[in-house]
């Protein structure tokens, strides 16, 4: 079993820490946000993620997971140090690497044992090499080698994904470093891919960009289905059953959001620009995604003849289901545009209302999902929460001013909504 330090207690860092602890390793989880560490020490969570609270509490109790703000304690016996800090986008779309570099400086000061430093944050090509340079320049008190192991977990199923990865990518400087990381991961399933640092960095961006491409592609086919009166659900199924295409990530709607796809597609595009490569396809993927939420709003506007003084009920604020995360959420954009155009918005989300109110303080939210329907001129479904499928739609219809539902996630069955008496509009379905 190994001693591990993980820097950054976000979705990636905290989930990896809890899962490594469950495998029997001794893990120190460090974050510069004192409040996060205080919460974790008290068995509380800094964000919502299914299955994670139980696992974190169990591991903290067993003293296999140690939350700390101190680099000295985290790094004094670490054999492997993971950097899992955020790499948010700058205004120009590049990744802001300041947190990665400042973690590197702290590592240089505090490592006491020969160790492997692993970048798990999503970083542009060449960053792992830069981190090496930063640590080396500070003359650390112990020897170290560098690796890049990108993470592929999804918010909402982070624990499950980390315990059952499809693949473990290890970009390493030397066979010896790769061997240490193979040993660290030995109890986990999934294929191993051993490669160099730059290739590992690109694998992560290429994976996210490809998934984003699938989404933008299916959204454009759905827009076309709207024009020709065809059904995107059947089109996606008919395509997805071909194993070369695959069924996953062919759900049409209002486009992708979150802290990863929007940022990573733009960052990869910036990498291409900085190498004078014109990545036309990726540019279109980003553009289509930007357009998709606007197209949806346009559809609603056309039906309602404008938003001034219209009561709009919004179901869903998170960027996707099973999370309270609203970063780059299409729902948040749409709500902001609605408010700007004079609509009276009442919103409900099972987990994300508190976070939404931090950026839209005047947003009216309600505790019961049915309350968004009261006197509504229309209901907009903006996040794919499964519970919205089971709502008492017959009762909801009675409390609305106009029985009009715009489903931005193709969550409900058109025939059933029509049977109840709704005018029901979704994306690419007749
Ligand atoms: C994504 C990747 O799926 C993970 O593999 C990756 O590790 C992660 O980014 C990351 O880089 O950290 P995540 O952002 O948690 O994970 O969310 P996804 O489940 O991929 O969904 C992203 C967005 O695409 C959501 O807004 C979702 O609603 C949308 N989406 C997804 C669709 O519109 N259609 C689909 O078919 C699938």
- Tell how far the Cα of 384 is from the centroid of ligand 1, in angstroms: 12
Q: Residues 161-187: what's their mean pLDDT? A: 98
Are 267 and 93 in contact by the 8 Å Cβ rule? The answer is yes
pLDDT at 360: 97
pTM of this structure: 0.96
Q: CB atoms < 10 A from the CB of 3, how many?
A: 18
Residue 197 Cα to ligand 1 midpoint, Å, equals 24
pLDDT of residue 369: 86
How much of the chain, in percent, has pLDDT values that exceed 90? 97
With tokens 């592929």, the residue in question is: 152
pLDDT tens for 283-301 read 999 999 999 999 999 999 9
pLDDT reported for residue 94: 85
- Would you say the CB of residue 208 lies under 6 angstroms from ligand 1? yes
Residues in the chain: 430
Nearest-CA neighbor of 173 among 137, 149, 138?
149
Decide: helix, strand or coil at residue 144.
Answer: strand
Q: What confidence category does residue 100 fall into, taking pLDDT thresholds of 50, 70 and 90?
A: very high
**381-418 pLDDT, tens digit each:** 999 999 999 999 999 999 999 999 999 999 999 999 99
Place of tokens 């490569």: 277
Interatomic CA distance for residues 228 and 332, integer angstroms = 30
Model confidence at 93: pLDDT above 90 = no
144: which 2 tokens?
């170290």
Residue 368 Cα to ligand 1 middle (Å):
27
Ligand 1 neighbour 251 (Cβ under 6 A): yes
What number is the average pLDDT over the span 157-167?
Answer: 98
DSSP string, 336-398: HHHHHTT-EEEEE-TTTHHHHHHH-TT-EE-SSGGGGGTT-SEEEE-S--GGGGGS-HHHHHH
Instruction: Give me the active site residues, please.
Output: 260
Q: Give the gyration radius of the chain's Cα atoms.
A: 23
Q: Taking residues 38-54, what's their average pLDDT?
A: 95
What confidence tens digit (pLDDT) does each residue in 223-263 have? 999 999 999 999 999 999 999 999 999 999 999 999 999 99
Q: How far is the CA of 154 from the centre of ligand 1 (A)?
A: 6
Q: What is the pLDDT of residue 430?
A: 86
pLDDT confidence bin for 158, thresholds 50/70/90: very high
Give mean pLDDT, residues 82-107.
Answer: 94
Q: Is the pLDDT of residue 92 over 90?
A: no
Average pLDDT over residues 167-186: 98
pLDDT computed for residue 97 by the predictor: 97
Ligand 1 contacts CB of residue 152 (under 6 A):
yes
> How does DSSP classify residue 79?
S
Give per-residue pLDDT as tens, 343-386: 999 999 999 999 999 999 999 999 988 899 999 999 999 999 99
Which pLDDT band, with edges at 50, 70 and 90, does 198 fall under? very high
Tell me the average pLDDT of the chain: 97
Choose the residue to mutate in 49, 88, 164, 215 for probing ligand 1, maximizing ligand atoms within 8 Å of C-beta.
Answer: 215
Beta bridge partners of 118: 82, 147
What would the mean pLDDT of 39-43 be, rounded to a whole number? 93
394 phi and psi angles, rounded to 5 deg:
-65, -45
Question: If we measure between CA atoms, which residue out of 52, 201, 238, 198 comes closest to residue 121?
Answer: 201
């Amino acid at each position: 079993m190994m001693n591990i330090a993980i820097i950054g207690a976000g979705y990636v860092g905290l989930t990896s820490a809890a899962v490594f602890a469950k495998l029997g390793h001794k893990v120190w989880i460090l974050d510069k946000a004192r409040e996060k560490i205080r919460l974790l020490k008290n068995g509380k969570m800094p964000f919502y993620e299914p299955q994670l609270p139980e696992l974190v509490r169990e591991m903290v109790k067993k003293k296999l997971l140690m939350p700390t703000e101190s680099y000295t304690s985290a790094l004094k016996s670490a054999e492997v140090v993971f950097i899992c800090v955020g790499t948010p986008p700058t205004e120009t779309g590049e990744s802001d690497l300041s947190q990665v570099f400042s973690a590197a400086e702290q590592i240089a000061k505090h490592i006491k044992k020969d160790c492997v430093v692993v970048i798990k944050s999503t970083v542009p090509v060449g960053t792992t090499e830069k981190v090496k340079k930063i640590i080396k320049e500070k003359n650390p008190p112990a020897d170290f080698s560098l690796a890049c192991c990108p993470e592929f977990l999804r918010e909402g199923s982070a624990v499950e994904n980390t315990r059952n990865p499809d693949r473990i990518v290890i970009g390493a400087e030397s066979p010896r470093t790769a061997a240490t990381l193979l040993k660290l991961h030995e109890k986990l399933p999934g294929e191993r891919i051993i490669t160099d640092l730059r290739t590992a960095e690109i694998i992560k961006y290429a994976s996210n960009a490809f998934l984003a491409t699938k989404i933008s592609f299916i959204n454009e086919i759905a827009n076309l289905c709207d024009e020709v009166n065809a059904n995107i659900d059947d089109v996606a199924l008919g395509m997805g059953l071909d194993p070369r295409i695959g069924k996953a990530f062919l759900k049409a709607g209002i486009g992708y959001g979150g802290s990863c796809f929007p940022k990573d597609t733009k960052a990869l595009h910036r990498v291409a620009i900085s190498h004078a490569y014109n990545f036309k396809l990726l540019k279109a993927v980003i553009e289509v995604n930007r357009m998709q939420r606007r197209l949806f709003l346009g559809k609603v506007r056309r039906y309602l003849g404008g938003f001034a003084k219209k009561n709009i009920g919004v179901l869903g604020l998170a960027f996707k289901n099973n999370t309270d995360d609203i970063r780059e959420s299409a729902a948040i954009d749409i709500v902001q545009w609605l408010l700007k155009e004079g609509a009276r918005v009442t919103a409900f989300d099972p987990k994300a209302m508190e976070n939404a109110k931090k950026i839209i303080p005047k947003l009216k939210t309600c505790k019961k999902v049915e309350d968004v329907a009261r006197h509504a001129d229309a209901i907009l479904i903006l996040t794919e929460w499964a519970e919205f499928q089971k709502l008492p739609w017959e009762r909801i219809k009675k409390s609305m001013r106009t029985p009009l539902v715009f489903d931005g996630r193709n969550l409900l069955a058109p025939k059933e909504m029509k049977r109840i008496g709704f005018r029901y509009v979704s994306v690419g379905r007749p």
